[in-house]
Structure 1
Amino acid sequence: MSGDKGVALPLPPLREVIARHGLSANRALGQNFLFDLNLTGRIARAAAPLDKGSVIEIGPGPGGLTRALLDHGAREVIVVERDRRFQPVLAEISAAYPGRLQIIEGDALKVDASKLGTAPRRIVANLPYNVATPLLMAWLEAGTAFTSLTLMFQKEVADRLLARPRTKDYGRLTIATQWRAEVKRLFDVPPRAFTPPPKVTSTVVQLVPRSEPLFPADAAVLEKVTAAAFGQRRKMLRQSLRQVLPQAEEVLLAAGIAPTARGEELSIEQFCTLARAFKARRVAGARSIGPL
């Protein structure tokens, strides 16, 4: 086939490439290879449209999802991979899709994805489980730098992202995520879909960053309040919040929240109201709740 720009050359099956390069998953880096073409194609279709701007993939490994994104019309895919063993494999994919794949060798935690490529930016990734949450928080803090995030997590993490008040999964991660983005569960992926199979089911989730947070609040204060509220989630708020503000009961009452309530009972709107009340108390010259 032609090697002209944008015209894909044939690539051998992924398992054959893995065997030829003698590659194996590194558990310390949270690696699990996804070979199922139906699943990688399904993820790519869920992230569409891909023909404008840049698609950013974190931890591509041998490039199963990378191939799917390119096959489904991605104009430009930028991959960030810290494991040097995969550089030759990714280079082969780049040669097969001339001018459409950019490879960055580095740690995704140290790369500002919001500065990569051009808008509209979409992140699509089978995230390494051990860094999934800090990566997500960093991307959400970048706000509308990203049009969408189509990501695979452990199912238990996805459950926390999607949780509702008064459920066991509802907590700090729920509030931090839903405050900044709309979250939708797409589909589950069984362990057998991976090599080696993980011990847990995975879930693909799509997040669309909000143009503004759901309710007004200072992000640092909101984080401090939710950390205290869920640090000992069975305690009443008048007790759990004392570690950040001695006058917790008074502030709760002023915010219209029952001091006997527990963190899991409050809506995101109520937590934002509480965060504003805490900040107002500090600004008014009350006893400091510590550095924010």
Structure 2
Amino acid sequence: MTNLPPLRETIAQYGLQAKKALGQNFLLDEKLLARIAALAGDLKGQRIVEIGPGPGGLSRAILRAGGRLTAIERDERCLPALNELQNTFPGQLSIISGDAMQISLTNHVQVPFHIMANLPYNIGTALLVNWLTSANWQPDWQSLTLMFQREVAERIVAKPGDKAYGRLSVLSQWRCDAQLAMKVHRSAFTPPPKIMSAVVYITPKEAPQGVKSDILQMITAAAFGQRRKMLRQSLRSVTGALNALESCDIDPQRRAETVSVAEYIALARTLSEAV
């Protein structure tokens, strides 16, 4: 571990200038990276999946904490730096070269596992929604420790009536606990992005009975897709939704951002039972 060069030297050695097309911004502060890795608790012997490790900053923190890491990296320029880590931490690191959007984690990692990532901004939300909307629950992952643009992180944890409250809030909270665990200033990155970032920590909980994930996704997509309209208008395209509003005693003149997660669950349950 003591033989590893500073991250800045690793980036220079392997010519790892961040690519905007890949949504890359590298964190170099190893104390900060250790704090992020610690959010998931004691990692010794735990299976961890990291998406987009880049030069391996967070990977170092995970490995130093004793985690058994599977790193998925699309950018082939980063593989030599990750191979260096693999040699430094024998038996702890597996590397998969490929696109995380196209890879089934359970084909490569024994379940259960934790997921950690400084997610590329251009695919972060899509990956999160995939992890949150699995038809089978409990999921294969035990926790998600994820870096996002701060505005995305705030949407994940927002409550009804908050400006940030939306579809992502409902999907994140209906069967998970989500918290904004840490804010990260733009100056911590190389190159510094134009926006601030934040880390969210998400853990699964028991799913509400009788609710189909695809039904909830359909309702929230319709409601928040026309969030300035009343529910009686925004949900008109969803078969049975207006009757479900009446059954759940939800005023159809309300707007999407005023409806609680529990109320969306009730709507989804009513429609799920009708299918």
Determine which of 142, 165, 168 is the counterpart of 1:147: 142
Aligned to 1:213: 207
Contact 1:114 1:146 in 2 (8 A): no
Are 2:126 and 1:134 equivalent residues in the alignment?
yes
Q: Which residue of 2 aligns with 1:64?
A: 57
In the alignment, which of 169, 172, 191 is matched to residue 167 of structure 2? Answer: 172
Structure 2: 5+ residue runs without aligned partners? none
Kindly name which structure, 1 or 2, has the bigger radius of gyration based on alpha carbons: 1
Q: Shift of the alpha carbon at 1:215? A: 5.5
Residues 266/80 of structure 1: CA separation in 2 closer, same or farther (3 Å cut):
same
- Whole-angstrom distance in 2 between the partners of 1:63 and 1:160: 28
Identity of paired residues, percent?
Answer: 48
**Structure 2: distance between partners of 1:248 and 1:203:** 35
Match of 1:47, SS state, is coil
Secondary structure in 1 matching 2:125: helix
Equivalence map 1:182-261=2 (5 Å): 182-210=177-205, 212-214=206-208, 216-245=210-239, 248-261=241-254
Task: Count how many residue pairs are aligned between Structure 1 and Structure 2.
Answer: 272
8 A contact 2:241–2:267 mirrored in 1: no
Q: CA separation in 1, counterparts of 2:250 and 2:87?
A: 60
Q: Secondary structure at the match of 1:16?
A: helix
- In structure 1, list runs of 5 or more residues that go unmatched: 1-7, 284-292
TM-score (norm 2): 0.93
> CA contact under 8 A between 1:53 and 1:117: conserved in structure 2?
no
Matched-pair contact (CA < 8 Å) for 1:182–1:209: yes
In the TM superposition, residue 116 of structure 1 has moved relative to its aligned partner by: 3.3
Farther off after superposition, 268-277 or 86-95 = 268-277
Deviations 1:17-47 (A, max 9, x none): 1112222001111000110011101011112
Give the counterpart of 1:49 among 11, 31, 42.
Answer: 42
The one-letter amino acid of 1:244's match is V
Instruction: After TM superposition, give the deviation of residue 209 of structure 1 in Å.
Output: 1.4
Q: Deviations over 1:49-97 (max 9, x none)?
A: 21133111100000011111111221x1110001000111111111111
Higher deviation after alignment, 189-198 or 143-152: 143-152
What residue identity is the alignment partner of 1:276?
R
Out of 22, 35, 40, the position equivalent to 1:29 is 22
Q: Which ranges of 4 or more aligned residues in structure 1 deviate by more than 6 Å?
A: none
Tell me the SS of whatever aligns to 1:144.
Answer: coil
Tell me, in whole angstroms, the C-alpha distance in 2 between the residues paired with 1:224 and 1:119: 29
* CA RMSD, Structure 1 to Structure 2 (Å): 1.6
Amino acid at match of 1:230: F
Q: CA deviation at 1:9?
A: 6.0
Decide whether the 8 Å contact of 2:45 with 2:66 is kept in 1.
Answer: no
Q: Which moved more, 1:101-110 or 1:144-153?
A: 144-153
Cα 1:111/1:19, change in 2 over 3 Å: same
Amino acid at match of 2:227: R
How many angstroms does 1:278 deviate by? 2.9
Letter in 1 for 2:50: E
